[in-house]
Amino acid sequence: MIGSRPSDSSARGIRIPRRTFLRGALSGVAVGIGLPILEAMLNRGGTAHADGTALPRRLGIFFWGNGVHPDRWRPTTIGPDWMPGEQLVPLAPLKSRVTVVTGMNNPAPEGDGHGSGAAALLTGWGFKTISATPKNLAPTQESIDQVAAKKIGTTTAFKSLELRITRRVHKSEGLLYGYVSFSGPSAPNEPEGDPVNLYNRIFADFKPSPGTPPPVDATVALRKSVLDAVLADIQSLRGRVGASDRARLEQHFEGIRAIETRLEQMKPSGMAPPMSCIPPSMPAPFSDTGPQEQLAARMKVMSELLAMALACDRTRVFTIQFTGSVAVTVYPIPGFSTHQHQLSHEEPGNQPLMHQSILYTMKEFGTLVSALDAHSEATGGTLLDTCAVLATSDCAEGRSHIQTDYPILIAGGARGKLRMGIHHRSNGESTNKVLFSLLNAVGCNLTEFGEKSAIRDISVTSGLSAIEI
């Protein structure tokens, strides 16, 4: 509902000396604003703030399309110190930081696989065919990053960040193929693919200023007054529209309130940012126009910006659409002259080019993991230790669209909640158990997760204990 907030948000808000409040324009509900953590504010062990509130955990998703070749991807050993299958070799140097889960199945396989796989792995629900022609597939539920964002993203400048690496995403057959993050069935979160835009969005207004606070910028208050007027217009409109439009206006309302939150944070705090937060300089413009895409170069700059956004606590939730469902990306691999989806279906034999592209994707997930692992945390360990990052795909294997034995990677330990560096082989359990584990590892406190509706019940009430601590 417009104007309402999770009732416990203030209890979870980071307690800081100069805690500020923002009046919700319509609700009058106080909004707690988080500011970067000072080391001095931690308790002696560094496990929590001095007053006992939990330190931030972060959730991320790295998504690619068309799966892997499961028999060549799967580790050859079970348990710790897994031995990579040939397609996991690029992640071997990081294997102590990455857990591999195999043998888990989409609990609601349907249609050509790309759609139901994306829906299951991103939302834990089945999908919906809005119309067969033109083909229009949509999710039926928010994606798990947004589930987490509602819980752990309420005090940061951005409740979540959505990034895109490939230029080419299959968008002509509905939201399900085109997006990774959904605030609701008809509320896709458009990802940012341009490094300069991403930088501007996260850091242009972010100027941590130790010492004496500089003078207040009058225009910040004026922008706030404008947003108040806009919120009043939304409020007067929402009573006169149907339920689905009301939901759309609520999303709009949330977006404006997020801007207000950031405006509030722009008020100089006079506090030092966390040790590892060093706002970067603007990256060089990124131009990439050829048929083959420069994925690695984009991934590198985007990963570094993202890692700093997390280190500066600008957000705690992110998704990366490395490639989309149905992946129509042309990889920068010699001989790769068509998009991956076509290749996945048409390359004969043991698919040497597909194999190369899977290796490429694994290496680039490694780029993200390494970027997160390069930031030391005030509390010891690295940024990666505070994260739970899921990497997965729409199909287990693109060629056959199979929905069993999904490739699932989990990087990071969510501050001691997840086991890192093991290979767990499941006997066909539901992928929803993994999503359940991840959401609870970052603090969602779920007792049940996944679709439980008149159409199907694929909900789970426990996670995958093998990966939990």
Partner 1 sequence: MRTSSMQVPRCLHGALIRAVLVMVALGSCTGVIKEPPGRGPSGGGAGPSSSSPPPTMFVPAPATLRRLTSTQYRNTLKQLFGDSIAIPALEPDIIVSGYSSVGASTLAISPRRTEQYETDALAVARDAMSRDEIRRVIVPCTPAGVTDEVCVEKFLVQFGRRVFRRPLAADEIARYGMVASTASEALGDFWRGLEYAISGLLQSPQFLYRREMGTADGRYASGRRLDGYELASRLSFFLWDSTPDDRLLDAAGAGSLGSPTGLRAEAERLLAAQAGRDGLLRFYDELFALAGLEDLVQLPSIYRLRSDTLGASLRSEALRVFEDAVFGQERDIRELVDGRRTFVNAEIARLYGVPAPPGGGFGPVDLPESSHRAGILTQGAFLALQAHSTSTSPTRRGKFIRERLLCQTIPPPPSNVVTALPPDGAGGPRTMRQKLEAHRENAVCASCHSVMDPIGLGLENFDAIGVWRTMDAGQVIDASGDLDGVPFSDARGLARAVREHQSTVPCLVRNLFRFAGGHMETAGEEPVITALVDGFAAGGYRVRGLVLALIDSPAFLYSGDSP
* Residues of span 140-169 touching partner 1 by CB under 8 A: 158-159, 162, 167-168
| Residues forming a β-bridge with 188 | 182
**Number of C-beta neighbours around residue 306 at 10 A:** 22
Nearer to partner 1, 65 or 174 (CB): 174
Question: What minimum distance in Å lies between the beta carbon of 171 and partner 1?
Answer: 6
11 binding partner 1? (CB under 8 A)? no
423 neighbors 100 (Cβ within 8 angstroms)? yes
Minimum separation from the CB atom of position 190 to partner 1 (A)? 5
Q: Kindly indicate which of the ranges 70-78, 224-232, 296-304, 362-370 contains the residues binding partner 1, using the contact rule CB under 8 A.
A: 224-232
User: Residue 386: phi, psi to the nearest 5?
Assistant: -95, -5
> What's the closest the beta carbon of residue 298 comes to partner 1, in angstroms?
15
Q: Is 266 in the site for partner 1 (CB under 8 A)?
A: no
- Distance in angstroms (rounded) separating the CA atoms of residues 81 and 99: 10
Which of 6, 17, 291, 380 binds partner 1 (CB under 8 A)? It is 291
Segment (H or E) for 164: strand 161-164
Least distance between partner 1 and beta carbon 31 (Å): 15
**Spatial CA neighbour of 78 closest among 464, 430, 434, 426:** 426
Helix (H) or strand (E) holding 22: strand 21-23
> Which of 33/464 has CB closer to partner 1?
33
Q: Determine if 338 is a binding residue for partner 1 (CB under 8 A).
A: yes
127 touches 140 (CB < 8 A): yes
Least distance in Å: CB of 394 to partner 1?
12
Q: At its nearest, how many Å lie between partner 1 and the CB of residue 63?
A: 17
Per-residue HEC secondary structure of 125-147 comes to: CCEEEEECCCCEEEECCCCHHHH
Please list every residue from 91 through 130 that binds partner 1, using CB under 8 A. Answer: 109-113, 130
3-state secondary structure at position 102 = strand
**If binding is defined by CB under 8 A, does position 83 make contact with partner 1?**
no
Of 26 and 227, which has the nearer Cβ to partner 1? 227
What are 100's strand-pairing partners?
Answer: 409, 423
Stretch that binds partner 1, among 85-93, 250-258, 264-272, 442-450 (CB under 8 A): 250-258
Does 183 engage in binding with partner 1 (CB under 8 A)? yes
Least separation in angstroms between residue 291's CB and partner 1 is 5
- Residues in contact with partner 1, counted by CB under 8 A, come to a total of 81
Helices (H) and strands (E) in the chain, counts: 12, 14
Max Cα distance, the chain (Å): 68
Interactions with partner 1, residue window 386-415 (CB under 8 A): 399-403
- Does residue 134 touch partner 1 according to CB under 8 A? yes
Span near partner 1 by CB under 8 A; candidates 22-30, 56-64, 183-191, 378-386: 183-191
> Is there binding between residue 452 and partner 1 (CB under 8 A)?
no
> Do 388 and 44 meet the contact criterion of CB atoms below 8 Å apart?
no
Stretch that binds partner 1, among 78-86, 245-253, 295-303, 373-381 (CB under 8 A): 245-253
State the CB neighbour count (10 A cutoff) for residue 236.
9
Q: Should residue 52 be labelled a site residue for partner 1 when binding is judged by CB under 8 A?
A: no
CA dist 391 and 29 (Å) reads 37
Scanning 267-294, the segments in alpha helix (DSSP H) are: none
Q: State the Cα–Cα distance between residues 469 and 440, nearest whole angstrom.
A: 11
Cβ neighbours, 10 Å, residue 281: 8
CA distance linking residue 192 with residue 209, whole number of Å: 27
Please choose, out of 16-24, 184-192, 439-447, 455-463, the segment that lies near partner 1 by the rule CB under 8 A. Answer: 184-192
Q: Is 53 in the site for partner 1 (CB under 8 A)?
A: no
Stretch that binds partner 1, among 16-24, 62-70, 267-275, 335-343 (CB under 8 A): 335-343
